[in-house]
Structure 1
């Protein structure tokens, strides 16, 4: 019984709060609704991504995932100034690499992951495509690589590894790096654990995989991955890059292309115009209603007309 009484009191107070015309209460109510709206969005994002109480999305800072000849606005691929959602990765089965994928994601096959290079959480995260999984076995002083989908089974690390579509160019512990058939600098690198080969989609700046291009020396472990990219909020991340440049001392805004900035401006104008348009509509509607309410109905006669009719009837009598 006490509970029901308490419930009715709370309900009564809430109704008074919700329907109050007091300016201070109205302001407090608007703030409450705004926070509630943001909270609902966060709950929805956290539920979808599985990234509870962590950032559910990231802004793209560089052009390493850009594709050639993009359409105006660059929708469908990951470009500087975009934002993407991060879906939690629990194990390697949650990531489908380019080598085994049958579906296209951001203009190319395979999942795109966000990871800390070499597991260093102090370094800026990298958002690149998972190309293939290399199983590493170490026996005594020998290291063996297995990439089943490419028919590589327990290949000795001292032998050349050549998978150009994954950005691996004639690479082995005792060989030279080769780009487009031209010898590069000597590069010695052995993987010490199993993990993903990762690579940016940009064919100009990211011809080699991250593990060969000096971005991440070792294969990407699952525990280094913050999440895999899902969805796209085009252009919105430009705002985040602007504040990062101003307050964080970065220089990333220059990576955003002109058409993306133009689309962002158009989007902001549309979003700002909607509430302004609704306010103007409500203002003119409310201004018009009192005038219409003051008009006499067709069934009612004006006061002067009524008085004239009464005088006329008296005169007749």
Structure 2
């Protein structure tokens, strides 16, 4: 009971008197900060699980993802942030940076599970992290702000600069592209405006392969509908309007004929989609990392 009371007091302190509370936490061990963070994260995971069950019917999935990703994220994020803290003059060690992030996560853990309110909780968390870094590393507010801005902006802007798209990855949800892509893979992509799409037919003539087969794998939304689930399949060849499609019918418009490497037939008409117009293509697949797509799939479909 006393331990719970201490946790509640600390939550109040970090929320409403952060500067004073961080000052009082300078001598805390990393273990003490981690215990506090785990307590907060568990509360957040439970409440997120309740919301996940009520809204998405994936309560257990939400609980597990929040808990696991929260623990992994705090250490990876702490290491990355500390690089910038060090560059702006922070010399109190990585433990102080981790403590600043663990204690600074208080608003996100306490309020982040609430829809809409969670957005404000993220901003509040960033403010607390800035305060914590400044207090624990004895840095000016300006330097602490710079460290956090660099830590956040670079992971956002560098991938966009390299790929031309804010969404740099898609989770492979099925086995339709096996053996060259597998369910659970995280597929890294590039904006179609940044690259030339080469079809299987063209790739065979040029000797160009992507993911161990001729031609490019494209990510497209059937009909160009924003609500449509993206499909990751290979661009096989191009048809002009009126040309014969795989089912023998004339193409209603020009576009790509596509196919999953593991599928027996083409998407047109197997999946009931029309030839893929260039504007329906949202990305071109460039690389994959096994298993990293599972968190996204779990969040969408559950266990």
If the length of structure 2 is used for normalisation, what is the TM-score? Answer: 0.50
Which residue of structure 2 aligns with residue 55 of structure 1? 167
Structure 1 pair 34–241 and aligned structure 2 pair: CA distance change class (3 A)? farther
Matches within 5 A, 1:22-37: 27=100, 28-29=132-133, 36-37=150-151
The count of corresponding residues between Structure 1 and Structure 2 is 174
Q: Distance in 1 between matches of 2:264 and 2:272?
A: 12
Q: Indicate the structure whose relative CO is greater, using CA pairs within 8 Å and at least 6 residues apart.
A: 1
Which residue of structure 1 aligns with residue 153 of structure 2? 39
Structure 1 runs not aligned, ≥5 long: 1-13, 68-76, 137-142, 146-156, 162-167, 174-189, 247-252, 254-317
Counterpart of 1:234 (choices 280, 290, 303) is 290
If the length of structure 1 is used for normalisation, what is the TM-score? Answer: 0.48
Write 1 or 2 for the structure with the bigger share of helix: 2
Q: Distance in 2 between matches of 1:18 and 1:35?
A: 15
Which residue of structure 1 aligns with residue 44 of structure 2? none
Whether contact under 8 Å (1:86, 1:226) holds in the other structure is: no
Matches within 5 A, 1:10-29: 18-19=90-91, 27=100, 28-29=132-133
Counterpart of 2:276 (choices 220, 223, 239) is 220
- 1:89 is displaced (CA, Å) by 1.0
RMSD: 3.2
Write 1 or 2 for the structure with the bigger share of strand: 1
Larger radius of gyration: 1
Which residue of structure 1 aligns with residue 188 of structure 2? 85
- Secondary structure of the structure 2 residue equivalent to 1:39: helix
Q: Distance in 1 between matches of 2:218 and 2:88?
A: 49
Q: Distance in 2 between matches of 1:226 and 1:115?
A: 5
Q: Distance in 2 between matches of 1:15 and 1:62?
A: 44
Matches within 5 A, 1:1-317: 18-19=90-91, 27=100, 28-29=132-133, 36-51=150-165, 54-67=166-179, 77-90=180-193, 94-101=196-203, 102-136=207-241, 143=242, 145=243, 157=244, 168=246, 171-173=247-249, 190-202=250-262, 206-216=263-273, 218-246=274-302
Q: Deviation string for 1:61-106 (max 9, x for gaps)?
A: 1111012xxxxxxxxx211101111211139x81000001122211
- Secondary structure of the structure 1 residue equivalent to 2:276: coil
Q: Distance in 2 between matches of 1:25 and 1:199?
A: 47
Structure 1 pair 215–106 and aligned structure 2 pair: CA distance change class (3 A)? farther
Structure 2 runs not aligned, ≥5 long: 1-85, 101-131, 137-143
Which residue of structure 2 aligns with residue 5 of structure 1? none
Q: Deviation string for 1:200-243 (max 9, x for gaps)?
A: 000xxx21110120241x11011000010011111111122122
Which residue of structure 1 aligns with residue 46 of structure 2? none
- 1:36 is displaced (CA, Å) by 3.7
